[in-house]
């Protein structure tokens, strides 16, 4: 009987300990859930707030500006101010840009590239800065004002909208590239993104796979080349141009004139399956593959 009584007491103690442990675990889980809910509410509250952050940088000794943004919308402006100014607005409390200054080069990028919030950066670059500007763009759209610098743009899937520039080098994957005016050199490689240019005065080297190329006014001043695989080419050559057309001869081409003016500059065209339309003045030449 004594042994049975001891066993019963032991079982009761074990049961009580299990009940207490279970209660502690339940209380912990409830507190944990409440804490997570509070944190989520705080995050939503902070996210819905519009934050404005402004920073300025002295660029008197800077040889190059390098920007790297992934998801934010970024707008680049030229300004008469002496300092580089960055204004951040959006529904995020994170500091999305940081500075590294190596070898007289200024690097500015997002500190947290996993943020998909509605963050907008407005970057004001002094007109007196005449060195290289490099822009790396991920999925957010970028808009570029008028610059007299050499621009290097590495674009992934976001759209690139540009006003005026002299020389630009663009590496594009699938985003749209739309340029108002280029007076100089355009180097552009693209996979599936379309290219639209209002006016190009100078020369170009463009290569695409399926992207279409449309140039409304092309003043050819030097050797130029446009090569596509299946994208369409639609180009209007300015009457001030002086060029000789080179192309892969095909019996399907309907060619009535191989050069404009004296044919001083060479314009090379190559296509596989896309259509080519070349216009100038009141003449129109159509190449169909």
Instruction: Band the pLDDT of 281: cuts 50, 70, 90.
Output: very low
Asked if 32 and 54 sit in the same domain, the reply is no
| Residue 151 belongs to a domain | no
What pLDDT sits at residue 187? 94
Measure the CA angle with vertex 59, ends 55 and 62; round to 5°.
130
Our count of domains for the chain comes to: 3
| Residue 31 belongs to a domain | yes
Asked if 166 and 185 sit in the same domain, the reply is yes
Q: Using one digit for the tens of pLDDT, what is the confidence trace for 144-197?
A: 998 988 899 999 888 999 999 889 999 988 889 999 999 999 999 998 889 999
Range of the domain at 181: 159-289
Mean pLDDT across 117-130: 87
Asked if 248 and 192 sit in the same domain, the reply is yes
Asked if 185 and 257 sit in the same domain, the reply is yes
| SS3 at position 112 | coil
The pTM (predicted TM-score) of the whole model is 0.73
Asked if 185 and 211 sit in the same domain, the reply is yes
| Residue 93 belongs to a domain | yes
CA nearest to 98, candidates 109, 89, 87: 109
Is the pLDDT at 257 greater than 70, yes or no? Answer: no
What pLDDT sits at residue 111? 66
CA atoms in the 13 A half-sphere facing the CB of 67:
29
Instruction: Band the pLDDT of 123: cuts 50, 70, 90.
Output: very high
């Amino acid at each position: 009987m004594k042994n049975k009584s001891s066993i019963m007491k032991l079982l009761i103690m074990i049961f009580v300990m299990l009940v207490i442990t279970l209660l502690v675990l339940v209380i912990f889980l409830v507190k944990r859930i409440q804490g997570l809910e509070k944190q989520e509410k705080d995050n939503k509250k902070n996210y819905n707030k519009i934050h404005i952050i402004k920073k300025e940088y002295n660029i008197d000794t800077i040889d190059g500006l390098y920007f790297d943004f992934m998801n934010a919308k970024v707008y680049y402006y030229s300004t008469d101010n002496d300092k580089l100014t960055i204004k951040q607005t959006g529904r995020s409390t994170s500091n999305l840009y940081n500075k590294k200054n190596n070898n007289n080069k200024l690097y500015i990028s997002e500190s947290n590239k996993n943020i998909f919030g509605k963050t907008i950066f407005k970057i004001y670059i002094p007109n007196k800065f005449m060195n290289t500007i490099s822009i790396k763009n991920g999925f957010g759209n970028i808009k570029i004002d008028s610059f007299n610098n050499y621009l290097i743009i590495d674009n992934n899937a976001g759209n690139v909208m540009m006003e005026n520039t002299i020389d630009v080098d663009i590496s594009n994957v699938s985003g749209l590239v739309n340029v108002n005016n280029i007076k100089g050199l355009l180097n552009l490689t693209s996979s599936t993104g379309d290219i639209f240019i209002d006016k190009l005065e100078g020369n170009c080297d463009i290569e695409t796979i399926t992207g279409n190329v449309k140039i409304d006014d092309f003043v050819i001043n030097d050797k130029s080349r446009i090569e596509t695989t299946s994208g369409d080419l639609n180009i209007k050559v300015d009457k001030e141009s002086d060029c000789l057309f080179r192309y892969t001869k095909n019996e399907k081409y309907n060619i009535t004139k191989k050069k404009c003016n004296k044919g001083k500059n060479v314009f090379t065209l190559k296509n596989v399956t896309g259509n080519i339309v070349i216009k100038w003045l009141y003449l129109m030449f159509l190449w169909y593959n």
